[in-house]
Amino acid sequence: MTDQRLGILRRLGGLALAVALLSTGRARAELTAADWPAFRGGGTNLTDAKLPLNWSIRPERNIAWTAELPGRGVSSPIVVGDRVIVTCSAGEPERQLFVLAFDGASGKELWRKEFTAEGNTVINEMTAVAANTPATDGERIFALFSSNDLFVLNLDGQLLWSKNLTAAHEGLGNDFGMASSPVVVDGAVVVQCYGETAGFVAAFDAATGEQRWEQERANQASWTSPFVVSSESDGAQRGIVVQSPKGVELLAATSGEPIWSVQVECDAIASSTPYEDRLYVPTKWLTAVDLNPKNSAGAAPLWDAKLLKPTSASPVLRDGKVYAINRGGVLNCYDLASSQIDWTTRLNGTVWATPLLAPEHLYCFNAKGDALVLDLNGVIVAEINMVEGILASPAVSGNAMFVRSHRHLWKIAE
């Protein structure tokens, strides 16, 4: 095994627009600020919620409820109005695929749906076939798995349509399992699939599953996830940011055609993060790119922060600061104005989950099962033993945080 593959193997594992139900049970199609609709909440992993600064699993303190899961998973939960959606996989090999809904208030399991994987279930032992975080458009849940099986359900768990992406792309996959999460934009679900024998980005009609467009890409494995941005200052054009080891692109949501692209060696796991009018791309270090270059030929890196090297966990940004975790589990706070590191803190282990950034605190989870709460001066104010390792990024709704391990889902709230 090459050093590059071994590095990916060690890091892999950190590897949706949310929905809700009215009290009458009728679906509402509008998203609200309380929803956590996608991986990283849609792309930034920011929250303004008032979350607990400390909690305990044993004995329970500030744990509203705990749900046992029927299988493993490193996908993040999403919050859809009054319920929480999570995916799992089980079996040897992991061909049993689950989508579950829990009542956000009580933790009661509302429904579970089980499917059988049609595609490749080869994965690294640290991760799971349930690696991709689901997404929603306010009416439907889009659950994609590492096997390249896409299941679309309504809010009551009824299967609307499904698609195995391997059928049209023979051999789609890689040695460690797929993990890119879907996004929903303009009535379509968009999937990014970069495997070792096939690579593409495609959009399918959210209601019917009919393919709207597909763009072929180079065959090179990547576990980053796409997200939606407005490609113009007035929001007139919506685009999808996709990232591969060979570069980062902004694709038109309506056609998949590139609006601009930047050819730069990108990280294969940590995803880019938008902040103001720029995109912060994990490369060999951290690279800033203009989200709105004057023309496609003008898209180019603006600068590199060579003091930062985000790997599995994606960077998070707020108030002119970048927070990035490197391969060794070291968290750096970088000031955009001065181009200097303000502070550095060790997180006591490898971190795959993207940290959650609140107005005054950072919530970090390492693979050993430690939750670390830091103030924005880098001081660890609480260290909690979660009992089980955490590889998935958390979700937030109201003043509650939802955290999943391979076997449990917790609601953390005062």
> For the chain, what is the mean pLDDT?
90
- Tokens representing 142 are 């889009």
Neighbours of 290 (CB within 10 A): 16
Question: Per-residue pLDDT tens for 103-126?
Answer: 999 999 999 999 999 999 999 989
pLDDT at residue 313, rounded to an integer: 98
- DSSP E strands, 15-171: 20-21, 27-28, 63-68, 78-80, 83-90, 96-103, 109-116, 135-136, 140-144, 149-154, 159-164
Whole-angstrom distance, CA of residue 250 vs CA of residue 157: 33
H/E element, 340:
strand 340-346
Question: Per-residue pLDDT tens for 298-310?
Answer: 578 999 999 999 9
**Number of independent structural domains in the chain:** 1
Whole-angstrom distance, CA of residue 379 vs CA of residue 204: 45
pLDDT less than 50: residues of the chain: 1-28
pLDDT at residue 7, rounded to an integer: 47
Sheet holding 286-290, edge to edge: 273-275, 278-282, 286-290, 301-305
pLDDT at residue 296, rounded to an integer: 62
Whole-angstrom distance, CA of residue 207 vs CA of residue 203: 12
Whole-angstrom distance, CA of residue 242 vs CA of residue 266: 11
pLDDT at residue 208, rounded to an integer: 98
Give the domain CATH number at 388: 2.130.10.10
pLDDT at residue 144, rounded to an integer: 99
Rounded to 5°, the CA angle 327-321-379 comes to 70
Domain that holds residue 285: 3-412
